[in-house]
Chains A and B, each alone.
Chain A
């Protein structure tokens, strides 16, 4: 009897947690399927569902372009940071060189920088490089938060690889570059996937730099586009469109999270750096 009660209590708690976590997104989906006056009525499930908002988002503004921008910036950010971080992580995890502790500390301290603290300097740098209002400029600025995180996590994973494996490769005549690319890279594939995914999500979600370093609608990334969506008048926000756009950019992320749940948690636990 007591066991059953405990079971029931546990299930209720779990249900409450899941509803707490998922309901706002569910409500966004419900809202995104409504138009006109239906928007101003609170419904807990879709009534008269229509995809009109989803079409409107793409018709009324360059949202397709915004999505491509976000993908491009995030992909570029991930590719460059993984390449740089992989090499650096090998050195940090595998070679005892003077100043390694200091180096790791500085990398970690960069991950604590408030983005705003570098905003004016970064603004000047990006303009100086002629990258203002451009996607490569954004990708460059994103290195400030993806690099420390990827270096840190990959160092953690790289340290776990058996020392004898590297020694076997050294006896086999492999130099550091070969060790990294031919022996460690294939073994780190899962770690790279997890780290890359986290960096992708971070870049995809970034707002402050994207808001500040882009000017035109065509160069904006998705978060900025959604934040700046406005209707006919200033006080009439197009909530249907905003919710449709929100669902569009969130569904892929949720899919990734569902598929890679375990790896993401492992990566976050290893890094415990960037929330």
Chain B
């Protein structure tokens, strides 16, 4: 169990900065998820913590102790890889015991720990099999088992569920969460899937282009994104963005000519161009703030997505209930409830509503 601290960590590959000046602390026992689009540096950051890559700049500390110069095996970490990376020529038992034997643990000790981990993961009956005789979900469990037996201070997961089909992914997600509750070990988890991130994380670290965009609890990020990137990245379907102009008096001017009172608009000078963000699930159909026309209606059963074209040509997506009677081509009024509206300045930073 350990607190993981990164101080000014950066990593260059040739001429490109894969990771830029990351300062971050993952608390002891916390489940932290690194999330971001592909190429954002999240995997590199995880590999830096593992010791599979070495930082070009900065410091890495576990419980306040520098670990930068320790080999991966001596950092007290365990890692679950995207491809599982099980040794194909070894049985499940040997896969789990391989690292333990290298620590000098005696035979009974190895056996005890492997058996215990196998029981926890319900793979005790598979111990004699080779990886190729296992299903995807079973391989995933073995990969996790191989990490558990090491009794690490920090668990590292590198997109461990992306090779599984959708149903299994949900099931394994629940199991990993349960495992975290049972073991109480610090876990760092990398994914590009924001649903996975939202459901698993105690704290989410949103990365973009090698830098940390925002750190916080999943719902904090959902409700109070610090900038336009986080606002757009978290939540599905994506947040709508509309061009507006600040009125200087706590209102914004919509493209359609209407005025909308938004609390955060008080922070902007009159005439300043802003982006108004609103999530599809907060858009109210049948309101009167904007006029538009439904161009496409997607019925998902539990919900309905209505894609609208507004009078000025901008598009807007609204999520409504499954029984919505809206039909394609129909003219619609749209309501934007002010408390659900976010405002972003020209640099993409969110304007905070006054308390």
Contact = CB atoms under 8 A, between A and B. Distances in A.
Please say whether the chains A and B touch (CB closer than 8 A): yes
A168 B81 contact: yes
Interface in B80-121: 81-83, 85-89, 98-99, 102-103
A180 to B, nearest CB: 13
Interface string B56-97: 000000000000000111100111011101111100000000
B73 A170 contact: yes
Interface in A231-258: none
26 contacts: A162-B83, A162-B85, A164-B81, A164-B85, A167-B85, A168-B79, A168-B81, A168-B85, A168-B86, A168-B87, A168-B146, A170-B71, A171-B50, A171-B52, A171-B72, A171-B78, A171-B99, A172-B98, A172-B99, A172-B102, A172-B150, A173-B71, A173-B103, A182-B98, A186-B89, A187-B89
A155 to B, nearest CB: 20
Interface of A: 162, 164-165, 167-174, 178, 182-183, 186-187
A164 B146 CA distance: 14
Given A162-B83, A171-B78, 9 more contacts: A162-B85, A164-B83, A168-B79, A168-B146, A171-B73, A172-B150, A173-B99, A178-B102, A187-B89
Q: Across the A-B interface, give the 10 residue pairs with the lowest CB-CB distance, nearest first.
A: A172-B99, A173-B73, A164-B85, A168-B85, A173-B102, A186-B89, A164-B81, A171-B72, A171-B79, A165-B85
Contacts, number: 55
A170 B89 CA distance: 17
Contacts of A167: 50, 52, 79, 81, 85
Contacts of A183: 87
B111 to A, nearest CB: 17
Contacts of A186: 89
A3 to B, nearest CB: 42
B77 A171 contact: yes
Contacts of B98: 169, 172, 174, 182
Chain B: number of interface residues, binned into ranges: 20 to 34
A182 B95 CA distance: 11
A172 B73 contact: yes
Contacts of A169: 87, 98
Interface of B: 50, 52, 71-74, 77-79, 81-83, 85-89, 98-99, 102-103, 146, 150
Nearest to B103: A173
A174 B150 CA distance: 14
Contacts of A174: 73, 98-99, 102
Contacts of B72: 170-171
Nearest to B81: A164
Contacts of A178: 102
Most buried by B among A162, A165, A173, A178: A173
B83 to A, nearest CB: 5
A183 B98 CA distance: 10
A182 B98 CA distance: 10
A169 B78 CA distance: 11
B16 to A, nearest CB: 16
Most buried by A among B50, B86, B99: B99
B82 A164 contact: yes
A171 B102 CA distance: 11
A255 B103 CA distance: 47
Contacts of A168: 79, 81, 85-87, 146
A117 to B, nearest CB: 40
A187 B102 contact: no
A169 B74 CA distance: 13
A168 B83 CA distance: 11
Contacts of A172: 73, 98-99, 102, 146, 150
Given A171-B99, A173-B99, A187 B83 contact: no
B62 to A, nearest CB: 15
A98 to B, nearest CB: 15
A186 B91 CA distance: 13
A91 B86 CA distance: 22
Contacts of A164: 81-83, 85
Nearest to A172: B99
A171 to B, nearest CB: 5
Contacts of B83: 162, 164
Contacts of B77: 171
A170 B85 contact: no
B58 to A, nearest CB: 21
